[in-house]
Chain A
Amino acid sequence: MRQRIRAAVAVAGFACAVPLALAQGSATEEIEKYRQALQDGNPADLWEMRGEGLWRTPAGPKKATLEQCDLGKGPGVVKGAYAELPRYFADAGRVMDLETRLVWCRVTLQGLSEADAKKNPYGSSNRKSDNEALVAYVTSQSRGIPMNVRLDNPQMKEAFALGEKIFYFRGGPHDFACATCHGEDGKRIRLQDLPNLTAKAGAQKGYSTWPAYRVSQGELRTFQWRLNDCFRQQRFPELEFASPASIALTTFLAYNANGAPFDAPAIKR
């Protein structure tokens, strides 16, 4: 298995500059220091601030704010809402994750078209994404609150089961599944540890530390962006933003993270 992954990973074209040859032990320690030094003053705060502004500023054809948006804990309750998402929303008649719900609120409250509300989910320097900013703000209001996603109705159970299926589904030119890279402890690509998302600790850390300011990109990235990027690594077709597949996979991974104190927006390499 290990052999196979190494070969496949090479084929997958991770042709990056070779990391410095460093004594592994001390290097890991120093990189930990580096990561520590970045914790205070996380630029993700800038997205959080912008997101809060977007939340409170009238916008769209209806010139309404998002302050009455119901994220599951009642209209306007943001505190702790993300720790319980995804969840089933009776008004929409389906399971929604945060981003799907934000689209819903921007359509119903602000009067945006669905296409406009879904536009530009992942920003770049000259094209800032409102989605990323709103996600940063809402998630920041669950910091420290344990993840508590409940499979308490048939729709949630169904979403979870579908998510699990996607996680283990092998395909693409390398015959990869998520589980190929994330189903075992101690795997790494170059210096990156690949979290074992099938074990409790890995599932918790892998979910509860997104969104994150990505040092390598100078952008805040959402959990959905992370999924999308792993689809790309897996050579799967693009994961459609706010699609049922994306909600299902998020439900599976969020449920597995239950109990972990939510700890984001974070900062990552």
Chain B
Amino acid sequence: MADPMKIRANLAGDTTEVKVLMSHEMETGQRKDAQGKVIPAWFIQNVTATWNGKTVLSAEWGPAIAKNPFLSFRFKGGARGDKVQVNWVDNRGDKRSDEATIA
């Protein structure tokens, strides 16, 4: 199973800033291994972030996102103690869902 994400969510004024690190190979499908065999593509395709059940960001990614992806964005609203949840699904159907409390 995939390793957990590291999510930070911080309130500044009326805006919540979310920073996410994900543990993923993000293999492009363009590289070859030592035997010359193509290493199959393996990457996160969909990311969604929700706050109180409302989607605050959703994304489609290709394999050109860097290994161990980083993502940061801001949304209006959010209060200390609220939960921000982030989900991802990769091209093999592996998923991961983690949450953080707004600080």
- Determine whether A and B are in direct contact in the complex, meaning some CB atoms lie less than 8 angstroms apart: yes
Chain A interfacial positions (CB closer than 8 Å to B): 40-41, 43, 45-46, 49-50, 125, 218
With a CB–CB cut-off of 8 A, which chain B residues contact A43?
21, 23, 67-68, 70
Nearest neighbor of A213 in chain B, beta-carbon distance:
B68
Q: Would you call B95 an interface residue if the criterion is a C-beta within 8 Å of the partner chain's C-beta atoms? A: no
With a CB–CB cut-off of 8 A, which chain A residues contact B25?
125
Alpha-carbon distance between A268 and B39 when the two chains are bound, in angstroms: 26
Alpha-carbon distance between A152 and B19 when the two chains are bound, in angstroms: 44
> How far in angstroms is the closest Cβ of chain A from B34?
12
Beta-carbon contact of A46 and B72 below 8 Å: no
Q: Would you call B60 an interface residue if the criterion is a C-beta within 8 Å of the partner chain's C-beta atoms? A: no
Which one of A45, A125, A218 lies within 8 Å of B6 (CB-CB)?
A45
Nearest neighbor of A128 in chain B, beta-carbon distance:
B3
Beta-carbon contact of B21 and A45 below 8 Å: yes
Beta-carbon contact of A50 and B21 below 8 Å: no
Most chain A Cβ neighbours within 10 Å, of B6, B25, B68, B70 = B68
Alpha-carbon distance between A48 and B4 when the two chains are bound, in angstroms: 11
- Given A41-B70, A41-B72, A218-B68, A46 and B21 touching (CB < 8 A)? yes
Alpha-carbon distance between A43 and B20 when the two chains are bound, in angstroms: 10
Alpha-carbon distance between A50 and B4 when the two chains are bound, in angstroms: 8
Alpha-carbon distance between A50 and B23 when the two chains are bound, in angstroms: 10
Mark interface residues in B1-36 (1 if CB within 8 Å of A CB, else 0): 001101000000000000101010100000000000
Beta-carbon contact of A218 and B67 below 8 Å: yes
> How far in angstroms is the closest Cβ of chain A from B66?
8
Alpha-carbon distance between A6 and B23 when the two chains are bound, in angstroms: 40
Q: Which 10 A-B pairs have the closest CB atoms?
A: A43-B68, A218-B67, A41-B70, A46-B23, A45-B6, A125-B25, A45-B21, A41-B19, A46-B21, A49-B6
> How far in angstroms is the closest Cβ of chain A from B59?
16
Alpha-carbon distance between A41 and B5 when the two chains are bound, in angstroms: 12
Alpha-carbon distance between A40 and B3 when the two chains are bound, in angstroms: 20
Sampled A-B contacts (25; CB under 8 Å) = A40-B19, A40-B72, A41-B19, A41-B21, A41-B70, A41-B72, A43-B21, A43-B23, A43-B67, A43-B68, A43-B70, A45-B6, A45-B21, A46-B3, A46-B6, A46-B21, A46-B23, A46-B68, A49-B3, A49-B4, A49-B6, A50-B3, A125-B25, A218-B67, A218-B68
Nearest neighbor of A49 in chain B, beta-carbon distance:
B6
With a CB–CB cut-off of 8 A, which chain B residues contact A49?
3-4, 6
> How far in angstroms is the closest Cβ of chain B from A5?
31
Alpha-carbon distance between A41 and B67 when the two chains are bound, in angstroms: 13
Alpha-carbon distance between A218 and B23 when the two chains are bound, in angstroms: 10
> How far in angstroms is the closest Cβ of chain B from A80?
23
Alpha-carbon distance between A40 and B4 when the two chains are bound, in angstroms: 18
> How far in angstroms is the closest Cβ of chain B from A57?
13
With a CB–CB cut-off of 8 A, which chain B residues contact A125?
25
Mark interface residues in B29-69 (1 if CB within 8 Å of A CB, else 0): 00000000000000000000000000000000000000110
